[in-house]
Structure 1
Amino acid sequence: MVEVVNSSDQSSLPSKRSTSFLTDKYELTMLEAALADGSAQRNCTFEVFSRRLPNERRYGVVAGTARVIRAIQDYVFTEEQLATLDFLSESTIDYLRNFRFSGQVDGYREGELYFPYSPILTVRGTFAECVILETVILSIMNADSAVASAAARMVTAADGRPIIEMGSRRTHEYAAVTAARAAYLAGFAATSNMEASYRYGIPASGTSAHAWTLLHINEDGTPNEAAAFRSQIESLGLDTTLLVDTYDITQGVETAIEVAGPELGGVRIDSGDLGALTRRVRKQLDGLGAYNTKIVVSSDLDEFAIAGLRGDPVDVYGVGTSVVTGSGAPTASMVYKLVEVDEKPVAKRSRGKAMQGGAKKALRTHRTSGTAIEEIVYPFKGERPDCGKLNYTELSIPLMRDGEVIEGLPSLDESRDYLAAQLVTLPWEGLALSRDEPALNTRFLGFPAE
């Protein structure tokens, strides 16, 4: 029913690229000052976390981890870039010329769930090498986690029916590629974006737009929908999906089956009251003997619209704008904060932005049924808390050591499967779409009392 392009796991990213200018100027000016006063080499720990979940959602999804690791590897300065940094001293430029991250990175694996104050990513090294990574890390994780968190809610609402990501035209051309990756991580079945398919090996899907039907007219200018359908079937086969709402939907369905026969793969509806239309179209298809012809729907769907169609005869959803923009939450609101200097905890105390100092790890406890209970955050170098008879999962894993990527990190498909398994562990109310408290509490143990 859906045409899929199976791509090998290749990448169109250049083999040699620089991510160093995906940054903010103040990171370089801080570096300049730190090199001047001798603080650049102080051992520091920075942490990525979120103080709250956007729009009072119940959980967030960690996404972009693999892209962050690649960005850190590619964080080098070219001579062309260095030549533009006329606000820096020669000694700082020499430091950047030879820069390679040599520190340690630990964090939640991609596809893990997170909650307020979960220590999602921990970066350790000198102040100089850690501070300049802030913007690129947050750019990736905020965007990807926002999309994945929204997409996971849509997958839950779809209740097992596949969703195709088709939002490329509703966002920046390169954001479309990484949004497709994040949506696939969250459980979407395919993407319309060819670059995402090529770069990440995501199944690609697509048939035709309304322009295809409109193209086919008779000599007198009247529509010839049958000609459009016939040509598409001759090119793509009976398993294709015909777009039947260019003119009159009832007539479009009748024409589709008249041309293709009852073995047509699917019909797509991209407008109107989708609930009422799908029921009517399903009845019409069955009446024409096309019992196995699937119904694909699109048209500004989000998790709430998908949930509203759960009782209707929809076989496949196509989602665009809402998923690539985070469905009302375009950022995950993650921050990158200094939490430890020379093994001494430091913490911001600003009103509304208070945080817990010190490097951290986390684990999640579970009942014997597998249902998650809470997250426990404890000192990075401290002993693991006693969980009693509860089962637990260590959430923080090594990602980089001495600037080198840990071997055997999960693939995109492995992370996708992992997320699907984690969603099942949430208490049933944690999967609700309504606004409420986070599904799990985050509890700190082993830190000095305030």
Structure 2
Amino acid sequence: MTASASTALLTDHYELTMLQAALRDGTAGRHSVFELFARRLSGGRRYGVVAGIGRALDALADFRLGEAELTWLAGAGVVDTETIDWLGDYRFTGSVWGYPEGELYFPQSPVLIVEGTFAECVILETLLLSVLNHDSAIATAASRMITAAGNRPCIEMGSRRTHEASAVAAARAAYIAGFAATSNLEAGRTHGIPTTGTSAHSFTLLHDTEREAFEAQVRALGPGTTLLVDTYDIPEAIRTAVEVAGPDLGGVRLDSGDLVSLARSVRKQLDDLGATGTRITVTSDLDEHAIAALAAAPVDGYGVGTSLVTGSGVPTSGFVYKLVSRAGDDGEMVAVAKKSADKVSVGGRKYALRRLDGAGRAQAEVIGIGAAPANDGADRTLLVELVRAGERVHTATLEESRARLRDSLAELPATARQLSRSDPTLPTIYEELR
């Protein structure tokens, strides 16, 4: 394994110092259960969307320490020789259960359950949290944007507003949430997401006149292309665009100004010129609230950048990773939990289902401690097996994840689709069945 392929150092120093201490006092091999969950929904959101499971499982498979990683740890004095030797042989051999991508989560939902020895589970904390906190925040924001957009497509175009690796992950999360395409080519190559894009203002400014720029683009890409019409004077640009491409011009893009009034005037002008099928796409710092404000405007699609890749002001999901059960001296499992201040957690291995009524409407998030909650036949089990004895046993396509989210959202009451801050749409109910 090369250093560039390993994910083992995408972690915090303290995970390895805990490992060293546990190896030294003999507790490293204790059977343990860790749980990844959110105590509350960040940003007053009404639901959360799980995304990043596939990426996390890929990262887990690459969690190996090769010679380069071990040499650096030893040289930096991070841990002792015994720990270095242990890490050199590290392979995760435990099990992982979790909510599949596209599933909804609520406060205390056991989104991921990692089970194995303390040593092999504790060092996965930061890797799993970094992936799921980011991707689920993006997917949750994207889902709200899709709700606001209705039947109009959204395009992810935020690569220039975030870290280059985060841009690819954000495009993937947005696609799970229902975005139609991305501008990011690496996301297209890596994840098979449709890509799209035409031109920026620089292309117009490159040419002596706007007409010359439009003619060049239409010659290269055909009349079905989308022309950017707000570099100079919009009405003049619309007239020129239709003259150059004809009434079959594919689309125009607006990237500035009062988008509601502009969309109306542009639509009228296009129709008057005979370009009744030309689509209007708007961009310009859109978020779910701006998209909702455009609902009555004659817009055909939205391009979303900064707000999407930053979670629309909520860039993390607030997930934590806590030990909830471990073997005692007699080998029996003991529930453990943090009890400090407002960071209380609930001990015990969890099981979860979505309680549904006879019409298939979601009523509650029900969590069983120690055993699965009672299912009356209408309820839906949420946890699926992801890893068994260290081997990945779950895969899902992005299309399957998109469908899962659509189905999960359809179970919720209509109030879940409101954009204002609120309590979670579903209550979380515990059933202690140990």
| TM exceeding 0.5 | yes
1:386 CA displacement: 3.0
**Residue 137 (structure 1) shift:** 0.2
Shift of 1:87: 3.0
The aligned counterpart of 2:309 is 324
Alignment of 1:14-53 (within 5 A): 17-53=5-41
- In the other structure, the counterpart of 2:190 is 199
Q: CA deviation at 1:115?
A: 0.3
Q: Structure 1 counterpart of 2:37, which letter?
A: F
Question: How many percent of aligned residue pairs carry the same amino acid?
Answer: 56
Cα RMSD (Å): 1.3
The offset of 1:183, in angstroms, is: 0.4
2:345 maps to amino acid: M
Which of 114, 123, 128 is equivalent to 2:119? 128
Name which of 424, 429, 432 aligns with 2:418: 432
Structure-1 residue corresponding to 2:130: 139
Q: Which structure 2 segments of 5+ residues have no match? A: 328-332
CA distance in 2, matches of 1:116, 1:365: 15
Deviation by residue 1:197-217 (Cα, 9 ceiling, x = unmatched): 000000000000000000011
Provide Cα deviations, 1:194-249, integer angstroms capped at 9, x if missing partner: 001000000000000000000011xxxxxx11110011011001110000000011
CA distance in 2, matches of 1:393, 1:371: 11
1:445 aligns with 2:425: no
Determine if the alignment matches structure 1 residue 259 to structure 2 residue 247.
Answer: no
1:403 equivalenced with 2:380 (yes/no) = no
Secondary structure at the counterpart of residue 322 of structure 2: strand
Q: Tell me the CA shift for residue 336 of structure 1.
A: 0.3
Q: CA deviation at 1:379?
A: 2.4
Is residue 109–residue 352 contact of structure 2 (8 Å, CA) maintained in 1?
Answer: yes
Aligned-pair CA distance for 1:106 = 0.1
- The equivalent residue for 2:330 is none
The AA in structure 2 aligned to 1:57 is R
The residue type equivalent to 1:190 in the other structure is: A
Q: Which residue of 2 aligns with 1:333?
A: 318
Give 1:425 deviation, angstroms.
1.1
- Alpha-carbon distance, 1:84 to partner: 1.6
Is residue 173 of structure 2 the alignment partner of residue 187 of structure 1?
Answer: no
Aligned to 1:375: 365
Q: 1:344 aligns with which of 331, 334, 348?
A: 334
Structure-to-structure mapping, 1:216-227, within 5 angstroms: 216-217=207-208, 224-227=209-212
Specify the code of the residue in structure 2 equivalent to 1:280: S
Whether 1:59 aligns to 2:34 is no
1:76 aligns with 2:67: no
CA contact (8 A) 2:6 2:64 kept: yes
- Work out the CA distance in 2 between the residues paired with 1:371 and 1:232: 50
Question: What secondary structure is seen at the aligned counterpart in 2 of 1:202?
Answer: coil
- SS at 1:182 equivalent: helix
Alignment partner for residue 300 of structure 2, among 315, 321, 327? 315
Q: Take 2:126 and 2:182, find their aligned partners in 1: how far apart are those partners?
A: 28
Q: Which residue of 2 aligns with 1:287?
A: 272
- Stretches of structure 1 that go unaligned for 5 or more consecutive residues are 1-13, 218-223
Provide the TM-score with structure 1 as the length reference.
Answer: 0.93
Q: Number of aligned residue pairs: give it.
A: 425
Provide, for residues 97-153 of structure 1, a one-character-per-residue CA deviation record: whole Å limited to 9, x for no partner: 010000000010011000000000000000000000000000000000000000000
Partner of 1:41: helix, strand, or coil? coil
User: Distance between the aligned counterparts of 2:175 and 2:7, measured in 1?
Assistant: 24
For 1:224-303, what aligned pairs fall within 5 Å after superposition?
A: 224-303=209-288
1:394 to 381, 405, 420: 381
SS at match of 1:415: helix
Letter in 2 for 1:405: R
